[in-house]
Amino acid sequence: QITLKESGPTLVKPTQTLTLTCTFSGFSLSTTGVGVGWIRQPPGKALEWLAIIYWNDDKSYSPSLKSRLTITKDTSKNHVVLTMTNMDPEDTATYYCVHRLNTNYFDYWGQGTLVTVSS
């Protein structure tokens, strides 16, 4: 059974760096074709894909946010970490961790974590 769970701060101040951790189980991020990514959703708005890391350590980022994002993995701990620098109130959103296999549709999602950016 595949599960993913997001953790991190619920409140960050503008200009701070956000660090989110996705802890997963039921699969290995060293298996060919597997990827773990991040998607966010501002309150009442649509889904926005942010980043993904693959089994072979390849990474992809949203072009509009690429300069602010870093995604890393710790395969032994079943963790994926997303950092986003220079947080702004417009980054207030629920951040989801997602699983993919072989192609980028997302078959498993974490419950999400709401991050509020406010001074």
Partner 1 sequence: DIVMTQSPDSLAVSLGERATINCKSSQSVLYSSNNKNYLAWYQQKPGQPPKLLIYWASTRESGVPDRFSGSGSGTDFNLIISNLQAEDVAVYYCQQHYSTPPMFGQGTKVEIK
Spatial separation of the C-alpha atoms in residues 44 and 16, rounded to whole Å: 24
Out of 63, 67, 76, 119, name the contact with partner 1 by CB under 8 A: 63
Does position 60 interact with partner 1 (CB under 8 A)? The reply is: yes
Cβ 83 to partner 1, closest distance in Å?
18
Does position 111 interact with partner 1 (CB under 8 A)? The reply is: yes
Does position 27 interact with partner 1 (CB under 8 A)? The reply is: no
- Listed in sequence order, the residues at least 6 apart from 43 whose beta carbon sits closer than 8 Å to its beta carbon are 92, 93, 94
Of the candidates 59, 26, 33, 47, which has an alpha carbon nearest to the alpha carbon of residue 112? Answer: 47
Out of 32, 46, 67, 90, name the contact with partner 1 by CB under 8 A: 46
CB 40 within 8 A of CB 32: no
Which positions touch partner 1 (CB under 8 A)?
46-49, 52, 60, 62-63, 96, 103-107, 109-112
